[in-house]
Chains A and B, each alone.
Chain A
Amino acid sequence: AQSVTQLGSHVSVSEGALVLLRCNYSSSVPPYLFWYVQYPNQGLQLLLKYTSAATLVKGINGFEAEFKKSETSFHLTKPSAHMSDAAEYFCAVSDQAGTALIFGKGTTLSVSS
């Protein structure tokens, strides 16, 4: 069965600092991996997805993630945090049959000035 683990339910950074949100997955087949962002009182917005093309995936708002098969990881990074990045972030996995997305429990990112 597939599963996703997001390390750290809360991450706090200063404005301008590196953002690193951790995600590890478990899958018996090559996965598709996704990062979503949710701003307060809004739905989920896709940040980026990995579909076995390139291991380094660039997304919206300056975010990127690197697929590392040996570590079963798909960590999300941004070089310089902005106040507007404060939100909840979800990592998710699906297999290539594309049934349902399996989500991690989420990481809340706080950005201080």
Chain B
Amino acid sequence: DVKVTQSSRYLVKRTGEKVFLECVQDMDHENMFWYRQDPGLGLRLIYFSYDVKMKEKGDIPEGYSVSREKKERFSLILESASTNQTSMYLCATRWGGYNYGYTFGSGTRLTVV
């Protein structure tokens, strides 16, 4: 089974800090995704990557950037954290060919104070 690991389960950061959220997958898959989950809004796509050093903006990229230097690792960066970025962040990877699927990490709950 594909495993997606997010390094932190809970994080508390101060406004203005630079924040790194890390995500690692264990099966050399090309496609990786970062979502943000908020009550009543579901999951919204922030960024995705389809290969090393390749990235595409999702629906809500403002205030975020990403880094993918190695295939297994996809990092989400908050350049200057703000309180409205307090949320649950979920990383995912896409696996398979025709019969593809997605596996999600357990999430990082970020609080910006």
Contacts and interface: CB of A to CB of B under 8 A. Distances in A.
Interface of A: 6, 9, 32, 34, 36, 42-44, 46, 49, 51, 90, 92, 98-106
A98 B31 contact: yes
Given A44-B104, A49-B101, A101 B92 contact: yes
B45 to A, nearest CB: 5
B94 interface: yes
Given A43-B106, A100-B48, 17 more contacts: A6-B42, A9-B40, A32-B100, A34-B101, A43-B90, A43-B104, A43-B105, A44-B90, A46-B101, A49-B101, A90-B43, A98-B100, A99-B48, A100-B33, A101-B33, A103-B43, A105-B40
Q: Dominant SS at the B interface? A: strand
A43 B2 CA distance: 14
Interface of B: 31, 33, 35, 40-45, 48, 50, 58, 90, 92, 94, 98-107
Contacts of A98: 31, 94, 100
- Across the A-B interface, give the 8 residue pairs with the lowest CB-CB distance, nearest first: A105-B42, A43-B106, A103-B43, A44-B104, A103-B42, A98-B100, A106-B42, A43-B104
23 contacts: A6-B42, A34-B101, A36-B104, A42-B106, A42-B107, A43-B90, A43-B106, A44-B104, A46-B102, A46-B103, A51-B98, A92-B43, A99-B31, A99-B48, A100-B33, A100-B48, A101-B43, A101-B45, A101-B102, A103-B44, A104-B42, A105-B40, A105-B42
